[in-house]
Amino acid sequence: MEFLNIFFPVSGVETNIFLPPLIALVISFFTSMGGVSGAFLLLPFQMSFLNFTSPSVSSTNMLYNIVAIPSGVHRFIKEGRMAWPLTWVVIAGTLPGVFIGYYIRIFYLPDLRTFKLFVGCVLLYMGVRLFSEILGKGNKEKDGSQKLEERIRRQREELQKKSGGRFVSGLSNEAVIRTISFDINKVVYEFWGERFSFNTLAMFSLALVVGIIGGTYGIGGGAIIVPFCVAVFRLPVYTVAGAALMGTFLTSIAGVLFYTFVPLNGMTASPDWLLGLLFGAGGFCGIYLGARCQKFVPQKFIKMVIGISILSVALKYIIQYF
């Protein structure tokens, strides 16, 4: 069906017009449940399958985030699963990090191989730790996240009994986030009867590092910050996803502006607007559906999706060094 093919002059790509949105929809549906837009998986697809290898591929990827993410953020806000204190801390750290990372990229890291190796090793550690927790080999003491998982399981069993054995799943409508306290030292919030907390400065520092990494070589950062929040800060993925997506959204806006208006080696790298919009259209639907379906999916499955995603990135960054 060559009549459906379209040529994109900025990227030099020629492909079926329905392929970009379809690929983006499938990827973003699964990754958005864990607060990851899926852009880091679209990047190798564009480079390897579509042969889009110019610097503009990074800004096109960020344009995808800008178009796709608002639908998921809207859904998390509507369902009361947007942890606003976490969101503000993530934004406060990632935005200045992007500026720092961009200038590090220009002046100090023309060759990113060594830096990517370091990031790959960190992600590998996080992926292994996450899978260790999934397999029950992590912390034996039950934390709030594990208690929450048990509560969901008990609710599912009770509803199955009431419905005559029919399969049911999902969170209660009462499973919303309520802020208990928010100051420079500590954030405490409640989610469906369980309290969760994190050190504000520690989370800000993590977000700053993630922003620097994202600004250095053009990723949103959700694939890095989510596993840290889940595996290190012990926060349930149901309460992390919305904040991570919001941080990625704002980081991507800054990234597109940089690539479009700030010259890199004397040249700008504006996105392929049409291709980015097509990817974004598919992602808009996929992220909305993923955010809507998240509460019906077990936390263990979502953690597996996150783990597989970050391990794939980790192995890619490690292999490229050798």
Per-residue pLDDT tens for 114-136?
767 877 787 788 778 778 767 76
Q: Which of 93, 48, 42 is nearest to 65 (CA)?
A: 42
Q: How far is CA 26 from CA 15, 61, 266, 271, in A?
A: 18, 16, 37, 22
Half-sphere exposure at residue 123, Cβ-oriented, CA atoms within 13 angstroms: 27
The C-alpha atoms of residue 63 and residue 60 are separated, in whole angstroms, by: 5
Residues of the domain holding 155: 2-321
Residue 154: the pLDDT is: 67
pLDDT, mean of each 10-residue run, the chain (322 residues): 80 92 94 86 84 84 93 92 93 87 70 72 78 64 60 62 52 81 94 89 92 71 79 87 90 84 74 95 96 83 81 83 81
Note whether 270 and 10 are within 8 A (CB). yes
Residue 182: the pLDDT is: 94
Note whether 71 and 290 are within 8 A (CB). no
Measured distance between the N- and C-terminal CA atoms of the chain, rounded to whole angstroms: 40
The C-alpha atoms of residue 225 and residue 241 are separated, in whole angstroms, by: 10
What are the pLDDT digits (tens) for 261-276? 877 666 677 899 999 9
Q: What is the DSSP track for 26-69? A: HHHHHHGGGT--SHHHHHHIIIIIS---STHHHHHHHHHHHHHH
Q: How far is CA 109 from CA 73, 101, 105, 126, in A?
A: 33, 10, 5, 24
In 84-143, where does DSSP find H-type helix? Answer: 84-107, 113-134
Count structural domains, the chain. Answer: 1
Query: DSSP code of 173?
Result: T
Tokens of 71: 């639908």
Q: Going by C-beta distance under 8 Å and a sequence separation of 6 or more, which residues neighbour residue 127? A: 227, 307, 310, 311, 314
Residue 289: what residue type? L
232 φ, ψ (degrees, to nearest 5): -100, -50
Residue 41: the pLDDT is: 81
Residue 298: the pLDDT is: 79
The C-alpha atoms of residue 49 and residue 31 are separated, in whole angstroms, by: 20
Q: How far is CA 236 from CA 159, 233, 294, 305, in A?
A: 22, 9, 12, 14
Q: Which of 77, 107, 106, 42 is nearest to 252 (CA)?
A: 42
Note whether 283 and 37 are within 8 A (CB). yes
The C-alpha atoms of residue 137 and residue 116 are separated, in whole angstroms, by: 29
SS3 81: coil
Burial state string for 279-299 with b = 16 or more CB within 10 A and e = fewer than 16: bbbbbbbbbbbbbbebbebeb
